Chain A
Amino acid sequence: MDLRYSESDLVFRAELREWLTRSLADLADPPARDDWPARVRYDTHWQRRLFDGGYAGMSWPREYGGRDASPSEQLIFLEETTRARAPYVGVNFVGTLHCGPTLIAEGTDDQKRDHLPKILSGDEVWCQCFSEPDAGSDLAGLRTRAVRDGDHYVVTGQKTWCSFGHVGDFGELLVRTDPDVSKHRGITWLILPMDLPGIEVRPIETVLGSSEFCEVFFDEVRVPVENRVGAENDGWRVTNVTLSFERGTAFVSEMVDALRMAEELAPSVHDVAERRELAHVVAELDGLWALTKRNVSQAARDGSPGRGAFMLKLAYSEARDRLGELCMRVLDRGAFDVHDERVEERLRTLSIPIAAGTSQIQRNIISERLLGLPKEQQWAKSS
């Protein structure tokens, strides 16, 4: 076990720090949170700068515009960008953290060539079309139908909780291509151009007001068959590739940001009990950062981040909730103004234990896959 960064890591850190100082100096202030056209410009502009600087797609292969960075460089990148308060991934979230890794693992050469460099350069914004009104935790129960018609799938149905649906150029879309087999077997993963006729997007007003979440309605939308990722009806397996990225890595950068927020809260916490609680939250986040280092080290060795990756999202959800509640108590009546980053984050992070598999689903996965416990028996409809 060794936590010492190498000489080349230190050089990387110094160069990155210098680049961040330079690149952030003339960056405009972030736009209002409900000004979506401006947010897209801002987030994709920053993505472009990362790309031009050689810092986009840290873990991605070079042939698709990535950096192919070592695990320790990826960790340094997270530390330094957070410390420098660089813009968060924003509208590039789905592209860089979900679809990109999925296309790298499962896409055709054409699909990789067409999309991966544009995701990294900020030229393509992606959205997620997974959940449906009746397919939340039971995602595999999705019903949006795709019927093959020559070179196209004709898609009809409804998606919800589509992150960045109203600003996405492309969507990662799960459809049912075979309704006659068991639910996990008849699902297909499609690349959805959001400008196709028959798509209607309606933003969802969340507890924060305007948000990145949308409903998306499909009325006989014709998606080319060449947009399929993986084989027809093999979409559940492809989806699990995406979801494993989501559990293992997608929350790491906001976890590091939570640590920053906890450290910045410290000077305003005076009550002894609250200081001890803050210490406990920081201990948990430090522990999760250490666990991330372990996951990354194991991934470098065996290509898979090991058991720790299953735990990160659940443990982060719990720690983040504690931090959010502590912020509210420390701010007292100062918390009535949502312009305070800490209040806005308290509201936003209410979604963390729900999104990407609820904490209850995470506990099922952990107990079944890591502890080998059986699935709970099916509920039988009584007559």
Chain B
Amino acid sequence: MNFDLSEDQDALRDGIRSLCEGRFTSERVRKGFDRAVFDELANTGVFSLRADGFTWADAAITFEELGRAVVPGPLVWSHLGHGLVDGVLTGLTRPAPGVDAIVEHLATADAVLVLDETGIECIAADALTNATAHDWPLDPLTPVHRVAVLPKGEHVAGPEVAGEWRRGGAVLTSAFQMGMAQACTEAATQYSLGRFQFDRPIGSFQAVKHILADMVVRAEVARAAVHAAAVTLDDPEVGDLERAISGARLLAGEAALKNAKSSLQVHGGVGFTWEYDVHLYLKRAWVLNTTFGTAAEHGDALAARL
């Protein structure tokens, strides 16, 4: 039992972090997801990681770093679908009958993967001729289309793979969100040290420091939970897998949302501007909290395991 990152995992994290710092600056991230972003991530091995022999834990460490930089794109779906379908992949959990499907990044995608209890269906992106683009999406970096009725696609995997995607998708999304929560803590801390009011940095006021302390604790506890879930996904004998995943999903989803809102509060007025990145983290947190299980679904799932 050694729950510390291994030397290789430290190196993986450092590598992805330096890639993000060099290539996925705020300026680039704000241009949104396109094929160049996809190709760059694909060349780094973000999507093929597990096919290349890395573990779910390694993938979680990678997505944590992508989350810190709030890199846009259907990254989790492209990772999950790697090896099964070629190209840029987006996806969604099949909506209930009568509910419109909201498809992310449709314009850039080659295929849309639809996940349900029975398996995974693949629809060619250009088959969604009846899709309507939102002209004002909640997250400016997550363009969405609304589709009233999804066309019938090709059945590409059965319930077993669907289950694995559901679990793996929850872990990677949680890892991404937990990375976002860390980045929010760091941005708000830096801002509080540089912003002077009443002749002192606002980060010296306990009213502000305590918000930041809660943020760092929230992110760190979520991080331990997400790493535990990823390790359990690799080695299910070490714990209750569904419980670990639902717990990680609950904590990471909450950490991303609360830390983004706290960051906005610490930034004050500028946190409410388009210019600062704070809103990108908050909006992505809302978007991601609808994917791979809502808080309500994971709450019910975890309670059922007790």
Residues of A whose CB lies within 8 Å of any CB of B are 1-6, 9, 71-72, 75, 262-263, 266, 269, 272, 275-280, 282-284, 286-288, 290-291, 293-294, 296-298, 300-301, 307-308, 311, 314-315, 360, 362-364, 366-368, 370-377
> Is there contact, CB below 8 Å, between A287 and B235?
no
> Is there contact, CB below 8 Å, between B244 and A311?
no
Q: Identify the closest chain B residue to A76 (Cβ).
A: B1
A2-B2, A5-B1, A367-B210 known; A287-B251 Cβ under 8 A:
yes
A178 CB → nearest B CB, Å: 30
A72-B1, A279-B300 known; A4-B235 Cβ under 8 A:
yes
Residues of B whose CB lies within 8 Å of any CB of A are 1-6, 9, 57, 185, 189, 192-193, 200-201, 203-206, 209-210, 212-214, 216-217, 220-222, 224-225, 227-228, 230-232, 235, 237-239, 243-244, 246-248, 250-251, 295-296, 298-303, 306
> Is there contact, CB below 8 Å, between B210 and A279?
no
Measured CA separation A374–B195 after assembly (Å): 13
B residues in contact with A307, CB < 8 Å = 220
Measured CA separation A311–B214 after assembly (Å): 9
Measured CA separation A311–B220 after assembly (Å): 8
B residues in contact with A298, CB < 8 Å = 4
Q: Identify the closest chain B residue to A73 (Cβ).
A: B1
Counting residue pairs across A and B whose Cβ atoms lie within 8 Å, the total is: 174
Q: Identify the closest chain A residue to B193 (Cβ).
A: A373
A residues in contact with B6, CB < 8 Å = 1
A residues in contact with B238, CB < 8 Å = 3-4
B residues in contact with A263, CB < 8 Å = 306
B289 CB → nearest A CB, Å: 14
A residues in contact with B192, CB < 8 Å = 373
> Is there contact, CB below 8 Å, between B244 and A363?
no
A271 CB → nearest B CB, Å: 11
A residues in contact with B300, CB < 8 Å = 272, 275-276, 279
> Is there contact, CB below 8 Å, between B1 and A6?
yes
> Is there contact, CB below 8 Å, between A308 and B220?
yes
> Is there contact, CB below 8 Å, between B213 and A266?
no
Determine which of B3, B204, B217 lies in contact with A376 in the assembled complex, contact meaning CB atoms within 8 Å.
B204
A207 CB → nearest B CB, Å: 25
Determine which of A3, A277, A291 lies in contact with B221 in the assembled complex, contact meaning CB atoms within 8 Å.
A291
A279-B300, A367-B209 known; A297-B4 Cβ under 8 A:
yes
Measured CA separation A251–B216 after assembly (Å): 20
Determine which of B221, B228, B235, B250 lies in contact with A315 in the assembled complex, contact meaning CB atoms within 8 Å.
B221
B263 CB → nearest A CB, Å: 13
